[in-house]
Structures are given as structure tokens and as C-alpha cells.
Amino acid sequence: MGRIRDRQQALRRAKHEAQRSIADDTGHLHMMTAALMEQQYRDRLAAEWGGSHTVLAFLFAMPDESTIEMLNRRGDYFDIRSGSTWDLFFPGYYRAADRGLESHVANTRPVGDRYASDWYFNSSDSDLLRQHVEDATGGHWSYSGGSDLVLVNVYVPERSEPTIDWASTQSGAIRPPDTLAGVIERITRDLQRGTEDPAYGVASITRPQTGEGASSADATARDFMVQALAGVAAALGLKALGT
């Protein structure tokens, strides 16, 4: 919530600056250029901000998962790519400067050697946060044990407290061919373009495909059920005819 409030304050400041910019430009209409017109358009959009929806994203994963290894290798770029648009939270992980002190903390282990060189994972905290989010979502998500992406809609008003809509929770396990890099790219692109995709560009994770996109095991099970139901229907038909 603290991070969401920080974003809310930043949007308020942007609105104030946009209003001031519009006021400053009114005396310079004779100097209007295409670039200035574009900037004024953007300023007017920002000046009209009264609230917006965004996404609260969690990634639940153990330190030995491929998602965390990718975070360790590419975290600097991920920070730049998501920028001020959205945040991805890693429950159970935190940063600390002193390895000596952290080595004495129970249930804690270092994470990486590059971007995550000062990251630590606390298994007790991770489990507490897992329980909290599972409870808050009211059964919309239960941890799979792998790398789970959990998305929740948040409304950020200009004033008053942000509202987390736990009932809107979407979730799914990140498995090949999906990757953490792909998730960050797709969510960032969706939010920056304002496409208003209910799944924020990651429907393949939060709503796995069925039908032609389903696994062969799923298809086999479905075919078996169809054949079984056909057999039942045939038997009932024969009985209705008195045979």
C-alpha cells in the first residue's frame, strides 16, 4: 500500500505541474509549434487526471526457480522497462546491505550474485504473505508451488485511499514457453498503450488455453469423456425404445 500511495502522490504532482504548464503557455501562443501542441495535449490529459486503475502484481517463487534466476540476470533492465508504469512485488524477498548481519537471521538465505546480490529470501515471511494473499483473494488463488503470477486490480483516486479489488484476482503459474521477461514486457506494453486488456496481456498465464491449445493429456481426457457420454446416451436411447 505504501508503494501505491507513492504512485498516487506522483500522479498528483504530475497533475499540478501540467496545470501550471498550461497556464504558462497561454501567453506564448504566437510561438506554437507541432512539438508544443503535442506537449500541451499531453499536459491537458494529465491535468484532467481524477483517478485511474492499475495492477498490483505479485510473483510467488522460491529462490531456485528460473524466474528468480532471470531476475538476477536481467533485473536492471526490468526496472527500466517497468519504470513508473507499474510494480512487480516478490513476497518474501528483501534487500539488505550487510551480509554479515543477514547471515544470522533465521530462515533467511542470499538470492543472487548480480542484480540480486543484495537480495535475501525469508521463507517464514514468504509463507505468511502467501497465506495473507490466499485469504484476501477468497479462494481466487492458491499457490501452485512453482512460480505464480498474481494480478489484482487497484483503483487509485486523486484523493482518499487506494482500493484493492481482491475479487478481481487473476493468477497462473509461469511455465515455458512463458518467462518472467515476457511477462514484464507484455504487462508494460499493455499499460503503456492503454489497451485495457482485462488480463494485462498475459492471458496465456492467467487463463490457460483450452481446445486446440490444450495439452495432449487434456485432449485425451476430453475425448474419453465424450465417448463415455455418448455411450450413456446410446444406452438411454435403447432403453427408451424398450430394447
pLDDT of residue 212: 45
Q: How far apart are CA 9 and CA 147, in angstroms?
A: 32
Residue with more model confidence, 135 or 103: 135
Residue 48 one-letter amino acid: E
* Strand ranges of the sheet holding 108-110, from the earlier edge strand across to the other edge: 93-95, 119-122, 108-110
What residue spans define the domains of the chain?
Answer: 1-49, 51-235
Please compute the mean of the pLDDT values over residues 201-216 and round it to a whole number. 68
Rounded CA separation 153/166 (Å)? 7
Per the model's pLDDT, the better-predicted residue between 11 and 149 turns out to be 149
Report whether pLDDT(202) > 80. Answer: yes
Cα gap 7→164, rounded to integer Å = 14
Count helices and strands in the chain by DSSP H and E runs: 8, 7
Residues 14-72: tens digit of each pLDDT: 766 765 665 555 554 555 566 665 655 555 555 565 667 788 999 999 999 999 999 99
Q: Which helix (H) or strand (E) holds 165?
A: strand 163-173
Q: What is the pLDDT of residue 207?
A: 87
151: pLDDT confidence band, cut at 50, 70 and 90?
very high
Residue whose C-alpha cell is 537471521: 105
C-alpha cell of residue 50: 481524477
Residue 68: CB partners within 8 Å, gap ≥ 6? Answer: 61, 62, 90, 111, 112, 116, 147
Written as one string, the DSSP assignment of 68-98 is HHHHHHHHHHHHHHHTTT-EEE-TTEEE-S-
Q: Does 76 have pLDDT greater than 90?
A: yes
Residue type, 113: D
Residue 176: how many other CB atoms lie within 10 Å: 6
66 in Cβ contact with 178 (< 8 Å): no
Instruction: Pick the range with the lowest mean pLDDT from 8-12, 104-108, 155-159, 224-228.
Output: 224-228
Q: How many residues does this entry show for the chain? A: 243
Cell 548481519, residue?
Answer: 101
List 119's β-bridge partners, or say none: 95
